[in-house]
Copies of this chain bind each other. A is one copy, B any other.
Amino acid sequence: MTTASAPSSTPVGPTPVLRTAYQKAVADYWNDEKDPVNLRLGDVDGLYHHHYGLGDYDPAVLEGPADTRDARIIEEMHRLESAQAEVLLDHLGPIAPGHRLLDAGCGRGGTSIMANLRFGCEVDGVSISEAQVEFANGQARKRGVDDKVRYHFRNMLDTGFPTGAFQGIWNNESTMYVDLFELFGEHARQLAYGGRYVCITGCYNDVTGGRSKAVSRIDEHYTCNIHPRSAYFKAMAANGLVPINVVDLTAATIPYWELRAKSSVATGVEEPFLTAYKEGSFHYLLIAADRI
């Protein structure tokens, strides 16, 4: 028979980390970002976060000597952000040193370090910002945990990690950059059967209706796409992730924003956050779910 030879082996490279113009724009934003609210807070103890805080702040930080007022506020905000990360880690269930964890959208890596400190296990973080990955790996080396904590320039929608490799995965305020069905599909693939997924996220409230103006301002600030609350539960139901805890953290995060609005590192996004939370169009939510 005279069919043609096998199709030409034009090399088909691996899918690039940055697949769309949108992802490139997000990566550019975070590669360039040097917001004091992230850097100065991280400087406090070397845990660099890209999320918000939980719990009441100590009103005393607002009083006393003016020259250290700013430092006091910074330290207090950092305490609230680390408290948030602890709440997230509290919901991972029992993690043994032999387990492996994934920090999806790891930013400058603070939560990964805290997880390693708490559980002693390996943690992989992924980010589409090469600058963040480089920064975070530097921090891991500085702390001498780079044999256990590793950050990767990868797309959380397509990490290349093996199937079933992780006992726990989390998104700490990074789900608003991606389609949740794609994300949870990839998470479900990577989690071991019975593994735990946790996210903390802002989501808009289906009950008040579409994205409010305040929510749109947050989207515009971060070039993100805040999802409705319902989208999380639909995408989990479609991907074998079964909730075991859902906690409305809205009331607990408002003090953080009120303090931040009074700080020197305010970025202007404080007002839409406070408006959105207080008008009820936006929730700060923790979801913990099991992979079945």
Chain A interface residues toward B at CB < 8 A:
1-5, 7-8, 10, 12, 15, 19-23, 25, 100, 122, 124, 130, 133-134, 137, 146, 150-153, 160-165, 177-179, 193-194, 206-213, 216-217, 219-220, 223-225, 229-230, 233-234, 236-238, 240, 242-248, 279-281, 283, 290, 292
- Residues in B neighbouring A25, C-beta threshold 8 A: 212-213
CB distance from A195 to the nearest CB of B (A): 9
Given known A217-B220, A230-B242, contact A211–B225 (CB-CB < 8 A): yes
A188 to B114, CA, bound (A): 41
Contact call A124/B206, Cβ cutoff below 8 A: no
Contact call A7/B209, Cβ cutoff below 8 A: no
Given known A21-B279, A122-B8, contact A15–B164 (CB-CB < 8 A): yes
Contact call A209/B22, Cβ cutoff below 8 A: yes
In-complex Cβ contact of A152 among B3, B160, B225 (8 A):
B3
Closest residue of chain B to A216 (Cβ to Cβ) is: B220
Contact call B234/A281, Cβ cutoff below 8 A: no
A133 to B1, CA, bound (A): 10
12 A-B residue pairs with Cβ-Cβ distance under 8 Å, sorted by A, are: A2-B130, A7-B124, A8-B150, A19-B209, A22-B209, A177-B210, A206-B242, A213-B223, A216-B223, A229-B242, A230-B237, A233-B242
Closest residue of chain B to A22 (Cβ to Cβ) is: B209
CB distance from A169 to the nearest CB of B (A): 13
Given known A7-B152, A23-B209, A150-B4, contact A233–B230 (CB-CB < 8 A): no
- Residues in B neighbouring A290, C-beta threshold 8 A: 206-207
Given known A12-B164, A20-B208, A163-B12, contact A244–B233 (CB-CB < 8 A): no
- Residues in B neighbouring A223, C-beta threshold 8 A: 210-213, 216
Known contacts A1-B153, A4-B146, A237-B237; 12 additional CB pairs below 8 A are: A3-B151, A7-B161, A20-B193, A20-B210, A21-B280, A21-B281, A22-B211, A179-B210, A207-B242, A216-B220, A229-B242, A245-B248
CB distance from A115 to the nearest CB of B (A): 15
- Residues in B neighbouring A237, C-beta threshold 8 A: 230, 233-234, 237-238
